[in-house]
Structure 1
């Protein structure tokens, strides 16, 4: 499918992202197989000259913001620069406006040329559209082919496990957020200020806000950004079980790392993370959501869960582990195996390290990987996975096994490659196993 297939009679069905409900989680950009989605500090946008309508980005979006379309003159698609400035989607054009525009384009090739020309003039700052122009060098084409030969994101499921509980989503949006009260805020690491991670408990009072393990919420920081616009919501995974951090109460927990530097180590103060980490008991916050309909734990007896995470990617894993722990304590659920691969730079920076070590060994199989321990070689979660290849392979032979990956985007490829190696070395067919894991909702990737 190409862009021209989205054009008929001089009208383009342009793919757009709704900035009002987008929570900037990067799922769409990470999922798009042709790099047709990009972003700036304000909005995520779709490039009209690249989008082919493949729909791969639709299901993974937790809010539905990605599933928006506008019929526009093919000669005048909404340019990227305009989309960056939007606070809401533009109104749909009338039938009369579209009919008048249709007569301006004589054929599809002309429309395609106009779209490409528009992207040429407005997309120079994206760094993506230039690599797809006809004038791209053969070296760039080869490089792109190599990069696309193994797309880790393509193996992730977009459907939930068959036994997952029903998930409620989008109950509260930016225009009608819920006010929650902080009832707990503790540092759950031994690291200093620059690397601390907080466990924050929010109480929703009498307002219904049902959440499941694996879902997320959006927190709206107070104030405005550098352009004077209200801050957009930031997404955080739920770190508590479905019946609350405190069972029987209408509350939920989040795992929040205080951001004091960007990925290149340059000093920066994360707006939402520092706001949340500094909250006191009794303070209130504005919450939207919940979000997420596929990254959900299985609920059938003897289902096994393999959890692979780094840093605050531990939040959904803590939620799943806690729910299984409560079921085990009740004696009313015959749970399968839990296997955790958890990575951090040092033990002091690993959230929930102490509580994890106190869990019974026959309840959860913990495997830690630390990459910055003085005097020791760097070790990552994929290294730990390969070390436990025999045990992982045994679980992967069982179709009751579900795998959840959560953490920084940089870990995704290494983890999926490690899974592939484990499967191949065990004599199984990677393509067949990977296809079943995806189709049956048993391999979920949530990276950022």
Structure 2
């Protein structure tokens, strides 16, 4: 039997996956898809480029099974899984004419194909040749060199403890009452149980009850909005920025299970939490490092965390920081979380630029438009190895933002592909969109 008859099939573990959509958004060949239950990989489309592996915050994407090519798990099969199937035994492989030796050879061949595809993908991302502009190709999968060590997956399905219980100690609306966007700032306290987080990390919330199929709800991911020493300094707590979901991306009415559950919580209520997640979207810690933050809506959560940590360091006199720039977009000022507190931050601490797209009597302005207007501020930072860029918000903003960075570079007569490759390699451009 030819070894080509056995393949290493790429699979996603549904027990660990937090449905953050990072893998599907990253995949350059459209091999990853999802339904309301699972994210899955189409074996007929997957080319083993490995682009989806590093950005995954949980490691659920890094799973493989040796299977006969003719019996690869279909998309439909994977969508119905609650857990990964066990690896096929030698006897089961033998039923298809395979052997343990052939399985080992297939695995080695797959590893070689992965290495070759990864090298090819890196070359395309670096040179910009052979494919249309793809913003995800420039997103870093490594953290800044001076980032603090993150703890990940301390609690979850495959951890020693499946989850941790947090108590709600605050729930405040942070968008104007009467606006369509009902966004809340929610504080969770973990008591004496350890739950260390860094700015840029996220957690998973498990809503109570069962879904329409009678199964427990899967976790929903939310970025942490507070700095590493707590929403209240010195306390074992953190905060989240959560928008009540009442319609889907197509504008159809829908009631988000987790968002409505979280926004309706009262002080004293308890919440089941897993995580933390994320090992690359982390802020730099070395002196004089600058941070450029670009976000929309609840994508402001990690930006608030980074800004507050820098503010506390500045107040203590223990940190010599570089520049902080924030580009923040929303439809109107009334729908922009933390609008009031942001306006009170001193300009010598942070330079804030707002972009509103639905203000009556004014032209639509998006964050990428404001970025182009501030090209003179961005250009030296794009060339500065101590400046780091963070993008967080809806997936629809990502390409426009990265193209704006490209336009700033090219307008100055510089080589975007070289600078873009440096941003990726040095962990200086981080994309977290959904």
Verify same fold: TM over 0.5. yes
Which residue matches 1:157?
140
Per-residue deviation at 1:229?
Answer: 1.1
- TM-score, scaled relative to structure 1: 0.88
The whole-number CA distance in structure 2 between the counterparts of 1:306 and 1:421 is 16
Per-residue deviation at 1:194?
Answer: 3.7
SS in 1 for 2:96: helix
Is 1:434–2:425 an aligned residue pair? Answer: no
Per-residue deviation at 1:72?
Answer: 1.1
Is 1:18–2:4 an aligned residue pair? Answer: no
Per-residue deviation at 1:8?
Answer: 2.9
Which residue matches 2:28?
33
| 1:36-435 alignment, distance < 5 Å | 36-103=31-98, 148-174=131-157, 176-192=162-178, 194-435=180-421
SS in 2 for 1:161: coil
The whole-number CA distance in structure 2 between the counterparts of 1:282 and 1:63 is 29
The whole-number CA distance in structure 1 between the counterparts of 2:314 and 2:21 is 36
Seen in structure 2, the aligned counterparts of structure 1 residues 19 and 406 have a Cα distance that, compared at 3 Å, is same
Show structure 1 runs of 5+ residues with no match. Answer: 1-6, 112-144
The whole-number CA distance in structure 1 between the counterparts of 2:367 and 2:179 is 25
1:252-285 CA deviation, whole Å, 9 max, x = no partner?
0000001111122221111000000000000000
Per-residue deviation at 1:103?
Answer: 5.0
Show structure 2 runs of 5+ residues with no match. Answer: 107-127
> 8 Å contact 1:172–1:289 — kept in the other structure?
yes
**RMSD over aligned Cα, in angstroms?**
1.8
> 8 Å contact 1:211–1:290 — kept in the other structure?
yes
1:260-312 CA deviation, whole Å, 9 max, x = no partner?
11122221111000000000000000000000000000000000000000000
Aligned residues: 404
SS in 1 for 2:141: coil
Per-residue deviation at 1:95?
Answer: 1.5
Per-residue deviation at 1:147?
Answer: 11
1:297-331 CA deviation, whole Å, 9 max, x = no partner?
00000000000000000000000000000000000
1:149-186 CA deviation, whole Å, 9 max, x = no partner?
01111110000000000000000004711000000000
1:209-228 CA deviation, whole Å, 9 max, x = no partner?
00000000000000111111
SS in 2 for 1:315: helix
> 8 Å contact 1:244–1:252 — kept in the other structure?
yes
SS in 2 for 1:361: coil
1:60-115 CA deviation, whole Å, 9 max, x = no partner?
000000000011121111111110010000111111211332359xx9xxx9xxxx
Q: Which deviates more, 279-288 or 221-230? A: 221-230
Seen in structure 2, the aligned counterparts of structure 1 residues 147 and 410 have a Cα distance that, compared at 3 Å, is farther
The whole-number CA distance in structure 1 between the counterparts of 2:173 and 2:98 is 63
The whole-number CA distance in structure 1 between the counterparts of 2:89 and 2:243 is 47
Per-residue deviation at 1:12?
Answer: 1.5
Per-residue deviation at 1:191?
Answer: 4.1
Which residue matches 2:113?
none
Q: Which deviates more, 257-266 or 195-204? A: 257-266
The whole-number CA distance in structure 2 between the counterparts of 1:317 and 1:82 is 39
Per-residue deviation at 1:9?
Answer: 4.8
> 8 Å contact 1:198–1:257 — kept in the other structure?
yes
